[in-house]
A and B are shown apart, each in its own frame.
Chain A
């Protein structure tokens, strides 16, 4: 059994990465009141984007991490347009987007000749782009819809399944690994006989930096104010001249980029990627955002360290098979005792 100082160190860096995931998760909930169950799949894709950049394109790590964040952010925006936006308003651009998506899927999955495969894939992507542009430029929506609360959740489960299948089709179901030499591996020794690997320090450093950046974006910029404004009242936000769809897209981008960052960082730290890696973190992330108070970014950050620590300690002192059991025990306890979360009050975004 390992020493306590070592457990605490592991809890801290893993908690920091979990915080990135959870802050993105809770941000979308705070703004749109939906639980995006494809957030875990976005996290997984973030890790694979970096994997592609490093192993296929030979990019250095420092370029692969932001690229993965941007990729995952854009993926989340497309996800919103495909799975959530059509449930809110129906526009001609939305229909075009769906047509493009089906063409793209056909291209990616079908057994075509290479030429046809590329033509289908690229024209699908182009049609999708056209649909998105058309949507933002639209002056009048075709119809505003009011769908039942459960619809976005189900729709995001569907999106998650598509994303996982795509990853399986492209990368296989087995575990993929980064090349071992991309980062120095000699650990630093800390007081109390604990050690921390350079990669774990990197995870902690990047995660803390991103938490500060997110806080500043939400608390200090016009975009952050607009995000919080929409969370409170979409109607009022519109009267202020806020393009709600655009701000929702910005929200999804931030959310996806954070999930992507968490995906790369944890993928690097454990050096294992697979198409199902999002499922586990999604459970932990859900616990974090409930414990932190749905919609509270600060609450999610604090709760992530709590849950990260709980996971590490239950593995270290009890048994690794109990890790999720303790997380769920905490979840149920919080739901029973204080359903609004330890730090939460309502469901609007707070920095």
Chain B
């Protein structure tokens, strides 16, 4: 469904990505794991069109979307939940959700809003509250809910568990699991490799702007090198 082919992305003279290649098949959850500064966010931002690759191609549903404007990419159904949630703080919770549906023109937006509230009951309680007043966990729920309002064909999540308490992390992964059950296609970027490999079907390991390893999530979970580098001794 999404294929990223040998992309190189630079910030000035610094190469953040140096030939990244991977695939996200329809209906699968693919994890992209790696340490700080490995280039995970840069990969998502290159796909989303927030930065342009210097080389390489990105194809979504057979269409070359390399270097497209970000709003065009989102309008195609390739929707990113950015790192650090990036909610629109001065707008209310409900207004954030409604803006998530900006690219839609159908009549089922109200109904989807109710579905999001069912998925995240806490957002419903706070629907008229200013989004900036939500807790970190609630903001993450809002960011995911807002992306779902676009009815994405492929959802990209950038470190959804970052900075959240363990209980809230569980909640976030419960939702990701639920979306997977419903057949969603997800590209999940995580530093929490343990959790990511539990929910994913397939995974890629990114290091210094290159894919250094890949495989079925179930196999990587028990791979000694991954255990050593990303999962800690206990695993």
Contacts and interface: CB of A to CB of B under 8 A. Distances in A.
Nearest to B72: A139
A244 B71 contact: yes
Tier of interface size on chain A: 20 to 34
Contact of A228 (B74, B86, B91): B91
Given A140-B67, A350-B90, A240 B98 contact: no
B102 A241 contact: yes
A348 interface: yes
A226 B95 CA distance: 10
A298 to B, nearest CB: 13
Contacts of B52: 140
A64 B103 CA distance: 35
A236 interface: yes
Interface in B58-103: 67-72, 74-75, 79-80, 82, 86-91, 95, 98-100, 102-103
Contact of A229 (B67, B68, B75, B88): B88
Nearest to A232: B88
B210 interface: no
A239 B48 contact: yes
Nearest to A223: B102
Interface in A17-58: none
Interface string A134-150: 00001111000000000
A140 B68 contact: yes
Nearest to B92: A225
B88 A233 contact: yes
Given A228-B91, A244-B71, A236 B98 contact: no
A341 to B, nearest CB: 16
Given A222-B98, A222-B102, A226-B102, A239 B70 contact: yes
Interface string A207-246: 0000000000000001001101100110111111111100
Contacts of A139: 67-69, 72
Interface centre among B50, B80, B95, B150 (most CB of A within 10 A): B95
B70 A238 contact: yes
Contacts of B88: 228-229, 232-233, 236-237
Given A240-B100, A244-B71, A348 B90 contact: yes
Nearest to A220: B95
B146 interface: yes
B69 A141 contact: yes
A229 B96 CA distance: 9
B147 to A, nearest CB: 8
Contact of B98 (A225, A233, A242, A244): A225
B102 A240 contact: yes
A112 B150 CA distance: 55
A348 B88 CA distance: 11
A241 B68 CA distance: 12
Contacts of B98: 222, 225
Query: Chain B CB within 10 Å — which of A233, A236, A239, A241 has the most?
Result: A239
Contact of B50 (A229, A235, A350): A235
A240 B86 CA distance: 11
Contacts of B74: 238-241
Nearest to B77: A241
A240 B150 contact: yes
Nearest to B51: A144
A30 B64 CA distance: 36
A241 B91 contact: no
A8 B34 CA distance: 68
B86 A233 contact: yes
Given A225-B98, A226-B102, A228-B91, A238 B50 contact: yes
Contacts of B67: 139-140
B69 A140 contact: yes
A242 B88 CA distance: 13
Contacts of A232: 88-91
B90 A241 contact: no
A242 B176 CA distance: 25
A94 to B, nearest CB: 15
22 contacts: A139-B67, A141-B69, A225-B99, A226-B102, A228-B88, A228-B91, A232-B90, A233-B88, A235-B50, A238-B71, A239-B48, A239-B79, A239-B80, A239-B86, A240-B74, A240-B100, A240-B102, A240-B150, A241-B71, A241-B75, A242-B102, A243-B69
Given A228-B90, A239-B48, A241-B150, 10 more contacts: A138-B69, A139-B68, A139-B72, A140-B69, A232-B91, A237-B88, A238-B70, A238-B71, A239-B70, A241-B79
Closest 10 CB pairs of A and B: A241-B74, A241-B103, A238-B70, A236-B86, A241-B75, A243-B71, A232-B88, A140-B67, A229-B88, A241-B71
